[in-house]
Structure formats: C-alpha cells, structure tokens
Amino acid sequence: MREEKKHVTEAGGFHPSHGSRKPPCGAGTAPATGGTGTAGDVVFLESGNEGTQNIVRAISHQTAGVVVQILAAEGPLSLSDIALRLEISLNATKYHIRNLIKAGILEIAMIEYSVKGKKVKIYGLKNYVFLVSSKMSSTDQLRNAVVKRRKERDEPVRIILKWDKTGKITFFNEYGHRFFGFAHSEVIGKPLVGTIVPDRESGTDRDLDYMIKNILTHPECYASNENENITKDGKRVWIRWSNKPICDENGEVIGMFSIGTDMTESKALEETLFQAEKDSLT
C-alpha cells in the first residue's frame, strides 16, 4: 500500500508549454549553434545533435508519451502516483522518468514528505517549447526569430526563482541566469542579499535585507512587490515580483516561489516623466 504523503504546497504546477506556468531548471548561457539551444523557455532542436537524439529517444516510447500526457493533465506527481496511473511497476516507471529527465523534458518539481518524514520526489514537466524548422538553417536564426516575435507581441520572459527560509536561492530558471549573468554554481545556495539583491535600494535607501525577512514573515503582504535588484556586473535593475509561499506539511513557510518581470525601462520612463512634470511645475 502506498504511504500517505503530506504535500509541500507550492504555487502553480508544471505543464506543457501551451499552458505552462512553472519553470525549467537551467544554467549558464545557451549552447552555440550545432546543438540544442535555448531562448528563455524555448529549445531549438537540430538533427544529428546528441541532445536532440536524447529527446527523440525519450519521447518515442509510447509509455513515456503517456507519462508526459499525465503530467500535462494533472501537474506534478510522485513516482508511485505515476506508476499507479500507468499500471506498471515502479522500476519501469523510473526507467522512463530517468530518460525524460536526461532529455530535459522532466525535472524534480518539488520534494514532499511522507507522514514518516521520508522525502518523496515530485516530477513535473519543464516549461519548454521545442522547435524544429526546416526553413531556418541554424539555432541562432531560430533563436533570433523567437526573440523578435516576443518583442513584436510584447511578451516579457519571466525570471523564475525559489528561495528558502534563510533567504538562500534554491532554484533559478535559465532566463534568470542569463538576465543576472550568474552561472548555476555562482548563485544556487547563495543568499539573495549580496547576490541579486543589494543591501539597500538606491534612491530610497530602503533596507532590502529587512524586506526579504519580512516577505518570509508576512508573505500575505508581499504577494506582489517591486524592488531594485543587481546583476553580476553591478547594474541596478528593477523587478516586479509575484511571490507565493512554499509550506511544509505543518503549514509552516519554508521558502518562497517568485516570478519576476524586468521593469527597468518602465521605471526609467516613469522617473523621466515625473522629473519633467516636476520641472514644469517649478
């Protein structure tokens, strides 16, 4: 009999790209032409590439395809839950999940704890769109086409961030890595303050270390907030964050799930307009 689990609550769920809300795990910059490449949450597939072959092998099996369909319909599930729905053994299910993770289609979405305190991995779909085009001769062309299309449609790419109750970063999506300029090893496990959040906000001198602690203490007051952040090269940027608490089986907040949108240009425009209005009045 399956062991009853207590769930770690977390915002959203992992779904396929046509309706996805949750992030892929990624690090560093996109691979160069000649391999699978990325632009935020888009993966470009090129024939003959090892990464592409891994993806094709993983999803070509009928059972693996059903795993993807189940997670797309229901959201993140445990190994035993997936096996139960497939009506196959845990070992057979584990085989397909391992292949899908290797291909970059699935990831560990969160960790749950059973009533006995045992850790249970919960698997979900990465938020990727996979593109193949015979009209584009290179990954760079595909990437540029996607970026151009996003700009035309005014669709911002989101920064996806998870952090624990000590204020340390536990997850960063690929766009977050590229936006802030940090490699995976430079940011995961590091405190928010001093890495992507400055001690104090320029202009307002707001104590951002206190703000981070306050978000964890009073998450209901910070469902949405905007604050200054800092990139690896020292550039100050403004991000609008949507925050939802991650709780343990007792309902205690153990971390935060945050989705950020770059507001730097909008903030600069607002400041310019404000200054112009101020000058006209004086």
Q: What is the pLDDT of residue 182?
A: 93
Assigned domain for 282 exists: no
CATH at residue 213: 3.30.450.20
Assigned domain for 277 exists: no
Count of domains forming the chain: 2
pLDDT per residue rounded down to tens, the chain (282 residues): 444 444 333 333 333 333 333 333 333 323 333 344 444 455 656 666 676 677 777 777 888 888 888 888 788 889 999 999 888 999 999 998 988 888 888 888 888 877 778 888 999 887 655 655 555 555 566 566 666 655 555 555 689 899 999 999 999 988 899 899 999 889 999 999 999 999 999 988 999 999 999 999 999 999 999 999 999 999 999 999 999 999 888 889 999 999 999 988 877 776 676 666 666 666
> Of 121, 153, 185, which one is at a domain's C-terminal end?
153
Domain match, 187 and 133 both:
no
Assigned domain for 80 exists: yes
Q: What is the pLDDT of residue 37?
A: 46
> Of 92, 126, 153, which one is at a domain's C-terminal end?
153
Q: What is the pLDDT of residue 282?
A: 60
Assigned domain for 280 exists: no
Assigned domain for 281 exists: no
Full DSSP string of the chain = -PPPEE--B-SS----GGG--SPPP--SSPPPTTS-EESSSEEE--TT-HHHHHHHHHHHSHHHHHHHHHHHHH--EEHHHHHHHHTS-HHHHHHHHHHHHHTTSEEEEEEEEETT--EEEEEEE---EEE--SS-SSHHHHHHHHHHHHHHHT-PPPEEEEEETTSBEEEE-HHHHHHHT--HHHHTTSBSBTTTB-SB-TTT--BHHHHHHHHHH-GGG-SEEEEEEE-TT--EEEEEEEEEEEE-TTS-EEEEEEEEEE-HHHHHHHHHHHHHHHHHH-
Domain match, 53 and 190 both:
no
Assigned domain for 45 exists: yes
Q: What is the pLDDT of residue 82?
A: 92
Q: What is the pLDDT of residue 132?
A: 56
Domain match, 179 and 52 both:
no
Domain that holds residue 99: 5-153
Domain match, 148 and 9 both:
yes
Domain match, 115 and 137 both:
yes
> Of 103, 123, 153, which one is at a domain's C-terminal end?
153
Domain match, 138 and 232 both:
no
CATH at residue 57: 1.10.10.10
Q: What is the pLDDT of residue 48?
A: 61
